[in-house]
Amino acid sequence: MSELLAVSAESESWVESAQSLAAELSLPFIGAVPATDVDTYRQVLEVGETLQLRATGRKAAGPVWVDFVGGAVAHRRKFGGGKGQQIAKAVGIRSGLYPQVVDATAGLGRDAFVLATLGCEVTMLERNPVVRVLLMDGLRRLRRAAESDPELAAIAARLTLLDSALPAAQWLAAQPPQSVPVVYLDPMFPQREKSAKVKKEMAAFHQLVGADEDADALYEPAYAACYFRTVVKRPRTAPFLAGRQPSLSLQGKSGRFDVYTRHGMNRDALSGRLNPADKLNPAEPE
């Protein structure tokens, strides 16, 4: 059986960088080899101008990477519906109210980026080291593009990725009680084997990351850490996280946002005595 993952270089000019990343992640380095020519690993993390997770073999699906500048995210940033989007309603965004959010299961950062485009300061946490370096690469390219684009510069300034490999539940448990305005959770849910909606490349990504079997353990520390609310993104027919009935649910065609409220959200609470950014504890507990 093929091993799961190795690091490769897009070309000879990227070999040194790829070797460094392989050492950092404790993964084998296989050289500047096209993913289509690899048969000993199911996926490669290809280092180049863009860091990409690629399935191997000649019939492999397309690559997965983090893109905060072009493609679908750019279209959604410009035409996605603004504050009328369900995610905006779920975290409590409205005119003059832009709560700070901790996205404790950031994944590829798409929801975090949407929230940042809408005006929220978002702190991302991602425990999977491969996904975390993909996020770091996406942020690097966003900040490079932001040098000549004031709109992107403002968005980039609102996005932070913590350098922590802690599981979300453990990190949240280390925060002072009610110190995070909004906790956002999108734990990986087991994919239906025959779901036509899951693109091949994302199916490969899910294979690498796996389902968050410990997702239910997120509820207690998340709700304890939040001041205003905890928001949980779920597939439409999925059970409630930890079996807890939410305060309200916002339903969509294929998913929903379950909202667990603690305190009402208003301008005084956002700008007054509560200063959650000062209370966040980015350090790993001893």
- Detail the residues annotated as belonging to a binding site for S-adenosyl-L-methionine: 110-111, 126-127, 186
C-alpha atoms less than 13 angstroms from C-alpha of 3 in its C-beta half-sphere: 11
* Cβ neighbour number for residue 154 with a 10 Å cutoff: 13
DSSP state of 238: S
Alpha-carbon distances of 241 from 147, 256, 259, rounded to whole Å:
40, 12, 11
Alpha-carbon distance of 183 to 122, in angstroms, equals: 10
C-alpha atoms less than 13 angstroms from C-alpha of 141 in its C-beta half-sphere: 16
Alpha-carbon distance of 25 to 130, in angstroms, equals: 8
Closest by alpha carbon to 112, among 126, 96, 101? 101
235, 197 contact by CB (below 8 A): no
CA 229 to chain centre: 19
**CA dihedral sign, ordered 25, 30, 31, 33:** negative
> Which residues participate in the annotated binding site?
110-111, 126-127, 186
The three-state secondary structure class of 82 is: helix
